Amino acid sequence: MKKAVSLLLVVLMLVTFVTGCSNNSGNEGKKDGKYRIAFIARAQADSFAAWLANSVMEEAAKYDDITLDVFDGQANDDTENALIESAIANKYDVIIIQPNNGEAQRPYAEKAVQAGIITITTNARIAGIEGSSSVDADPYMQAKVNCDLALELVPEGANVVVLNGPPGNFHADERRRAWEIEFFQKRPDVKIVGEEIANWNKDEAMNYMETWVQANDKIDAIISMNDNMAAGALEVVKDNPKYKDILAFGVDGTAEACLLIKEGLMTSTSLQSAYDLAEALLDTAHKLLTGEETEINIDIDCPLITKDNVDEYIEMHRRAGAIQ
């Protein structure tokens, strides 16, 4: 039995190694005249990060002179830092880092730059690393475009509930900060009757909303730092006539949010398009590799999606296969 187990283990490792090698274009410098890019994803269990990783792979396939490997940081600083170190050791031409926690990855990104490797940080950028480039969407702006609409639509003396992302997460914190400055400070008449951390999760948001609906006579708006949580809260009230006019704001522009906006259940979201990020990332990488430019720092747009323009974005998701 012991022999069988060790044999199985060896076979498993061999299979992993062989398939790994056939996916990689090789580990020693530029091979077949192709540039090698390592994309260190934050966590492939996070649906936005997964969307970005998939988009980056698709985009890379469009370049004849680029091969790209994706690595999963598993939402863990240690894992992500180790992956960056391995990518440096493996002499990739470009390392794209989607940090789990910008400050934790900063020294490792600096190491990559020092090793002479083109380093790009994205979603969110790690600012202030000399010699590195970045492609990002500004989380403050993503929330702000929603705040501007909310200033108009949220009724006088409204009761609102707020759903937050994980504390310490750059995008979660910046979006919440935008709501504070761009909405709550301008609208002192609005009362927050419930605020919880739902960790970007739909099921957690649902549970909180169920309780808030019981604890409060009226809730006029759901203010959520991402679409997934807004969708969870709406799941609770969607069939309740008392809440037929409830407003709901999110961020991300997911397929589900677009469908909810189309149905008239959700008010608005702002698009953080993984397609656009991926396109800009590969374009940036290519320009840096060919020496066309030496440093690039850009932000993609964060257009507001409402009932008026949602069809365009539903079509975008349909083309990508996210909507049937």
Partner 1 sequence: MEKGRLNGSIFNTLSKYSIYLVLVVLFLISWMANENFITPQNLKNVANQISVSTILAFGQTILVIAGMLDLSSGSVLALAGVLLVSTYVNTGSLILSFLVSIIVAVICNIISGFMITKFKTPPFIATLAMMTMARGAALLYTKGQNIYQIGDYVVFGQGETLGIPNPIIMLVITLAITAYILRHTVFGRSVYAIGGNEEAANASGIDVNKVKMKAYILNGIFVGIAGVIFMSRVNGGMPNGAQGYEFKALTATVIGGTSFTGGVGNAIGTVAGAFIVGFLDNIMVMVGVHSYLQQVVRGAIIALSVIYDIWAKSRKKGKKVQSA
- The 10 Å Cβ neighbour count of residue 203 is 12
Whole-number minimum distance, CB 131 to partner 1, in Å? 31
DSSP state of 96: E
Number of shown-chain residues binding partner 1 (CB under 8 A): 38
Give the footprint of partner 1 on residues 141-180 (CB under 8 A). Answer: 164, 167
Asked if residues 231 and 256 have their Cβ atoms less than 8 Å apart, the reply is yes
Whole-number minimum distance, CB 277 to partner 1, in Å? 15
Region of 120-128, 147-155, 197-205, 300-308 interacting with partner 1 (CB under 8 A)? 197-205
In sequence order, what are the beta bridge partners of 159? 191
Q: Is 259 in the site for partner 1 (CB under 8 A)?
A: yes
C-alpha 62/C-alpha 82 separation (Å) is 29
Q: Is 214 in the site for partner 1 (CB under 8 A)?
A: yes
Nearer to partner 1, 110 or 196 (CB): 196
Among positions 25, 76, 211, 306, the unique one binding partner 1 when judged by CB under 8 A: 211
Q: Is 71 in the site for partner 1 (CB under 8 A)?
A: no
Terminal C-alpha separation, the chain? 49
Q: Is 249 in the site for partner 1 (CB under 8 A)?
A: no
Long-range contacts of 178-182 (CB under 8 A, 24+ apart): 178/139, 178/140, 178/141, 178/142, 178/143, 178/144, 178/147, 179/143, 179/147, 179/223, 179/225, 182/143, 182/144, 182/147, 182/148, 182/151
C-alpha 24/C-alpha 318 separation (Å) is 30
Among positions 37, 38, 40, 49, the unique one binding partner 1 when judged by CB under 8 A: 49
Residues that bind partner 1 (CB under 8 A): 5, 44-47, 49-51, 53-54, 164, 167, 194-197, 201-203, 206-208, 210-212, 214-215, 228, 231-232, 235, 254-256, 259, 322-324
